[in-house]
Structure 1
Amino acid sequence: MFEHDYLAGQPLFYLFIAFSALLSFGYFWGKRYNEKLYRTSFQDLVDIVKPVDQTFTNIGGIIGFHARLTPPKRSPFERIDATITFLPRHSWLWMPISKIVRKYDRLFVTIHLRRNPIGEGHLIETGYARFRGPKISNESMLQREEIAWGTKKFLLYYGGEAMRGHLHRYVEGHGDPGQVRHIALVPEQRKCFIFLIPRKNRVARSFDPVYRWLPSVLKPEEDSSTGKRKDR
């Protein structure tokens, strides 16, 4: 009847159909998995920050999402920006390559501070630092040491002994970094940067301790009328 009817009886034809069906299943499964990860991760952030305003933006289809959270007025933080990007679980052909190149999903949180930190400091997991980790712009001006945090090794960078002490006490008070791979306090930008590997229902356990600890490493607030430190 048709010129190419004979193809329907070939084994390769059925293999092609099965392969196409598998890729289609992978697309919908991967898309659904990533959307669930986005929702649970950002809900964890919202539950901790308790924002008075929030905005969520999709990034390039199913590549990732961005959130902007505005904390309450009396918070020491002016704004929280978060960006989550995913492994391409919707593309089973690209996924193996991405696992080698990118390794994991990524959650970047930027906290805009109302007050400056007491100094610059970084805690960065050594594996992340070696594998396409962030560049510290003034690394040569900071002291560096390697410490153990749970089962992982971290590099600790600090600009002064006060910040070094705060970072050491934080590590000692929290026996495991959880999903955290980098904490950076940068006075020049008045920001704190946190990088986590998002996992379902694990973001809150890793982010909440850092969020609660941050006010302790900020300079005291001064009364604008007197120039003196406020008691809070």
Structure 2
Amino acid sequence: MSSTLVIIFLVFGGVLALQFYKGRKLNAMLMVHYIRGFENVLKPKDKDYIYLGGTVGFKARYQLQNKFIRDVDLTLTMLPRQSFLWLPFSYVMRGGDRLYIVVSPKFRVRRDAHLIRRMFHRFGAKIKEEKDLNKENLKVNDTEFIALYKEKSDVLNLLKLLENSFDLKRVGQVSLNFENNTIYCIVKPDPQKTPRELEKFLENLPKTFENWTYFSEE
């Protein structure tokens, strides 16, 4: 092996090592930042965390002192910033970090409805009840969604909820799930904005669906 190849391998190995440590540190810092932000705005009465492979992300369950919402489950999955080789492929496939939000309300979700940003799911969204739902394309400014619904008012309410809570371009999907009585949302998180966006999402949720009036306080 020539001395030139040895130098190339050494330099490349050094780059990989540097990226590994810098990437792990950045992901760890982002995780701490998100956790502090979520706890500050939600002020949960109880909380539970599961870390996913160190700096891959985390799962959090927050029990809230809220008239309309029982608890919120968050799953943050992060780009492999520690991997110089895999990071570009992951970014192309995922488009960035993802925050999965599952809200368990104290009121009954009456029907299934879904808004899915076009091309968000590379291999298509898996909606179990899709064959029983109406399908329509909706465009808001420059953002296109696929709407699945039994009653169109439900997806229009979901759209209103998103517009009042998040930047639509960072929303991948939002769903009303009748079977498990949850509201589900996927967003591309922003370290500076998302804690406050999540707070607005939870505040706007019961206002948006105020016609579902049979709340059951605990």
Task: Place the TM-score, normalised by the shorter chain, in its bin.
Answer: 0.7 to 0.9
Q: Write the deviation string for residues 39-81 of structure 1: whole angstroms up to 9, x where unpaired.
A: 2333333233221111222112222211111101x43111111
Please list, as runs of the form range in 1=range in 2, the aligned pairs for 1:54-69 lying within 5 A after superposition. Answer: 54-69=47-62
Greater displacement, 84-93 / 111-120: 111-120
Correspondence for 1:84: 76
Q: Write the deviation string for residues 162-219 of structure 1: whole angstroms up to 9, x where unpaired.
A: 4244235446657941522211111211101110112221313543332222113263
Q: Tell me how far apart the structure 2 counterparts of residues 66 and 174 of structure 1 sit (CA, whole Å).
A: 22
Q: Tell me how far apart the structure 2 counterparts of residues 101 and 119 of structure 1 sit (CA, whole Å).
A: 31
Structure showing greater radius of gyration is 1
Q: Which segments of 5 or more consecutive residues in structure 1 lack a partner in the other structure?
A: 1-6, 224-229
What is the aligned counterpart of 2:145 among 138, 146, 154? 154
Say which SS state the counterpart of residue 168 (structure 2) adopts. Answer: coil
- Structure 2 counterpart of 1:78, which letter? R
Offset, 1:146: 1.5
- Structure 1 counterpart of 2:41, which letter? I
Q: Tell me how far apart the structure 2 counterparts of residues 193 and 62 of structure 1 sit (CA, whole Å).
A: 24
Correspondence for 1:4: none
| Distance change in 2, residues 1:153/1:162 (3 Å) | closer
1:100 aligns with 2:96: no
1:113 aligns with 2:105: yes
* Native 8 Å contact 1:41 1:199 kept in 2: no
| Distance change in 2, residues 1:222/1:71 (3 Å) | closer
Correspondence for 1:198: 189
The number of equivalent residue pairs is 215
Q: Tell me how far apart the structure 1 counterparts of residues 159 and 51 of structure 2 sit (CA, whole Å).
A: 37
* Native 8 Å contact 2:61 2:72 kept in 1: yes
Q: Tell me how far apart the structure 2 counterparts of residues 206 and 175 of structure 1 sit (CA, whole Å).
A: 6
Please list, as runs of the form range in 1=range in 2, the aligned pairs for 1:209-228 lying within 5 A after superposition. Answer: 209-216=200-207, 217=209, 219-221=212-214
Q: Which segments of 5 or more consecutive residues in structure 2 lack a partner in the other structure?
A: none
Say which SS state the counterpart of residue 189 (structure 1) adopts. Answer: coil
Q: Tell me how far apart the structure 2 counterparts of residues 13 and 222 of structure 1 sit (CA, whole Å).
A: 69
Q: Tell me how far apart the structure 2 counterparts of residues 115 and 214 of structure 1 sit (CA, whole Å).
A: 11
Q: Write the deviation string for residues 1-26 of structure 1: whole angstroms up to 9, x where unpaired.
A: xxxxxx8x923322222222211110
| Distance change in 2, residues 1:209/1:150 (3 Å) | farther
What is the aligned counterpart of 1:50 among 36, 43, 48? 43
1:188 aligns with 2:179: yes
Q: Tell me how far apart the structure 1 counterparts of residues 91 and 165 of structure 2 sit (CA, whole Å).
A: 29
1:125 aligns with 2:117: yes
Q: Write the deviation string for residues 65-100 of structure 1: whole angstroms up to 9, x where unpaired.
A: 11111101x431111111111111101022222223
Say which SS state the counterpart of residue 35 (structure 1) adopts. Answer: helix
Q: Tell me how far apart the structure 2 counterparts of residues 186 and 139 of structure 1 sit (CA, whole Å).
A: 12
Offset, 1:158: 1.9
Offset, 1:147: 1.5
Please list, as runs of the form range in 1=range in 2, the aligned pairs for 1:18-33 lying within 5 A after superposition. Answer: 18-33=11-26
Say which SS state the counterpart of residue 80 (structure 1) adopts. Answer: strand
Greater displacement, 134-143 / 200-209: 200-209
TM-score (norm 1): 0.80
